[in-house]
Structures are given as structure tokens and as C-alpha cells.
Amino acid sequence: MGWFYFILKMKINKSTNLSLDQFINWALYDKVSGYYMKQNPFGKEGDFITAPNITRLFSEIITIWLITFLKSLGSPKKFNLIELGAGNGEMMKVIYETLKNFPEHFSSCNFMIHEKSRYLIEQQKVNLKTEKITWTEDLKKNYKDPTIFLANEFFDALPIKQFFKRQNDWYERFVDLKDPKEAKFYEIKSNIKLVEKKLNFEISKEQNIIEYSPDAFKYLKIISDTIEKNKGGILIIDYGYLNQKMQDTLQAVNNHKYSNILENIGESDITYNVNFNLFQNFINQYKNLDTLLTTQKKFLTSMGILQRAEIVSKDIAFSKKTDLFYRIKRLIDEKQMGELFKVMLIKTKNNKFHTGFQND
């Protein structure tokens, strides 16, 4: 049904040629057949397991970090906490429960989730079961209070564009869907200066490959404007790299295995590795904003996840303790998520806060 509907709708729109980001947007977010719009991709039944679903200690540590960050803002009487792309709602659930132990912050918090998938919103509502959490589509609201954004594996799920330099010219990647069973990539020559003018951001300097998400820049602009105006910050946790040179990192996952991006459309997750150096360069346009960057391993260990695990595992069976530390190892081991995942904080320059980032 997904394939048939996808191609039928394409024919109605009289276009079977899509730029890469348009194609990814169709494959992931089409209201009927999009990957994120019709199923829960998280957990054992899905295609991947995110950190909050590996162990609740991850979300508890995020809450402790949040409390220390609030102190750097002067413990505001009111603040907004907005999670971007909350998955099945597990991280927000644990943050909500943990923050209850700190009544002054809990009562001050306006809990919000920004989620594109109607299917996942329903899953989140079932998991969260509270009227204190609201869902928001519009991040451009005129927030008056300090706003803290949380983005765990959010940016990697946004559609991307790709450009490749061939000799002295740039070519954009497109997808040909004339025959859906033999979908293929092709390239169209592009004026990269016009692209940069539209972005208001130089992106091609010293690059041979350009890979970026237009939506990521839109989100970063809205969020940065909000932080600059009302204080607060955004904590970004995602897999990515720091090189100045961009790479082709486009990939698809189906049934927990890497798959061909042009096969099983609507049934596979399509993702990429975030270039955090690119994010830093974007934020450098803001005179009053600053970025801090570290690895997930350094962030979680400096925030005390191992000590917390020792405390909660004191009175549990040995098998459960072993399982807990196995799960934490997945989060911090350099060969697993520890080095691959990076943690970035965007905040105002006059806030000298660096908890969780002091190792760098």
C-alpha cells in the first residue's frame, strides 16, 4: 500500500524527479506512507533503540544537568522546556518524574513537545498521561520566559540536501522515480552561490561535498533567536563528526540493518551524521551566542552516570546489576555510542555555565 500510494500521489503531482531532501521528506513524513507517520520505529520492534530506551539513567542524568543549568539562569520562576522529536516519550516521561523530586523547578516548568508525526504524538500521550505536558507545532511563539530545548537524535532525522563538486562545478543530487522499482540517483548542475545567498551562510568554502539539512538551519535560527532574546539554551545529542570537511554520510536502516536508500521506501529510516562543525559555524553568526561541545561518553561520565548506577544497583540482584552496567556501557563505550554521539550546548555568551563539558 505504501509504495502504491507513494507513486500514485507522485503522478498526481506530475513529478517523479525529486531533490534528495524532497525525496527523504516523502519517505519519512508522507502522511499516509511515511516511515515516521505510520509506525513506532523505536525499541525492539522498530529499527533502532535510542539512549532513553536503553536505560532510564540517561534521562535522569539529563534532568540533573537541566537543574544545574537552571541555576546558571538564576533558577527562573517560570521556564519552558521543549523536547524536539520526543520519540515514544520515554525521555520526557523520566524527566517529568525526576523533576518532581525538585518541586520548585517542577512547578516552574512549562513542559512541551514539538513532534511532526501524529502517530508518535498519540504514542507519547499514552506513555506520558499528564495534562501538564502540551504539544506545540509553532516554535516561533513569542516566549517571554527562558526556554530550554532538548534534541536527542532529532537533527539526524531531518531531510538533507547533497552537492558534489565535479572539477569546478557543483551538482545537486536528485532521485529519479519514474520506475519505482528501479529508483536511481542523478545529478543536476547547481549555482552554489545562489544556494548560499538563500541560506545567508557560506557553506561551500574548502568543500568537495556539501551535506546539510535546510530544516536544521531553520530550526537553529528559530531556536537561536529565542535563546538570544529570552536566555536559555539547547542541548543537542546526536551522532555526528567534527571535521571541517563534509562527508557523504547518507544511510538507511531497515529491520536493524543498513539497507539501500532507494529500496523499501517508507519502510526504512533514512538518516545522516550531523556535522557539528557546520552547526558551530552557523551559530558563530550570532554575536551573543556560544557553543560547547563534547562526546556522549565525557558528558555522561562527568555528570556522574557511573556513580548513579552504583547507587541504584546496591540492593538489586546481581543479574539486574550486570544488565544495568551493560546498558550503560552501550551509552559510554568508545566503540559503541560513547564517541560516535556528540553533545552540544548552545547558550548565551554571558552565561559561563560549562557543567558536563568541563573535560574539554
The pLDDT value given to residue 41: 55
Query: Sign of dihedral through CA atoms 18, 21, 23, 26?
Result: negative
Q: What is the mean pLDDT of residues 2-29?
A: 69
Residue 201 reports pLDDT greater than 50? yes
d(CA 114, CA 121): 9
Q: What is the mean pLDDT of residues 128-140?
A: 90
Q: Give the pLDDT mean for 130-145.
A: 88
**Structure-model confidence comparison of residues 45 and 245, the more confident one:** 245
Residue 234's contacts (CB-CB under 8 Å, 6 or more residues apart) are: 148, 149, 150, 151, 223, 227, 345, 346
Note the pLDDT of residue 22.
Answer: 93
90-99 and 118-128 helices, crossing angle to 10°:
30
| Position 152 pLDDT exceeds 50 | yes
Could you write out the DSSP letters of every residue in 167-234?
TTEEEEEEEE-SSGGG-EEEEEEE-HHHHHHHHTS---TT-SEEEE-HHHHHHHHHHHHHHHHH-EEE
Rank 91-105, 119-133, 188-202, 309-323 by mean pLDDT and report only the highest. Answer: 91-105
Query: In the chain, pLDDT over 90 holds for what percent of residues?
Result: 58
**pTM higher than 0.85 for the full model?**
yes
User: Predicted confidence band at 15 (pLDDT cuts at 50, 70, 90)?
Assistant: low
State the pLDDT at residue 14: 44
Exposure of 299 in the CB half-sphere (CA atoms within 13 A):
27
Q: Are 112 and 122 in contact (CB under 8 A)?
A: no
pLDDT at 360 over 80: no
Average pLDDT of the segment spanning 321-336: 84
Determine the angle formed by the axes of helices 56-72 and 90-99, rounding to 10 degrees: 60
Q: In terms of CATH architecture, what is 47-159+213-348?
A: 3-Layer(aba) Sandwich (3.40)
pLDDT over 80 at 359, yes or no: no
Q: What is the pLDDT of residue 1?
A: 41
What is the spatial distance between Cα 34 and Cα 301, in angstroms, rounded to a whole number?
37
Residue 2 has pLDDT above 70, yes or no: no
Mean pLDDT of the region 267-296 = 93
Can you tell me the mean pLDDT for 4-21? 62
Mean per-residue pLDDT of the chain: 87
Model pLDDT, residue 217: 94
- Assigned C-alpha cell, 161: 540536501
pLDDT band for 136, please (50, 70, 90 cuts): very high
pLDDT at 46: 46
Res. 4 pLDDT band, cuts 50 70 90:
very low
d(CA 218, CA 215): 5
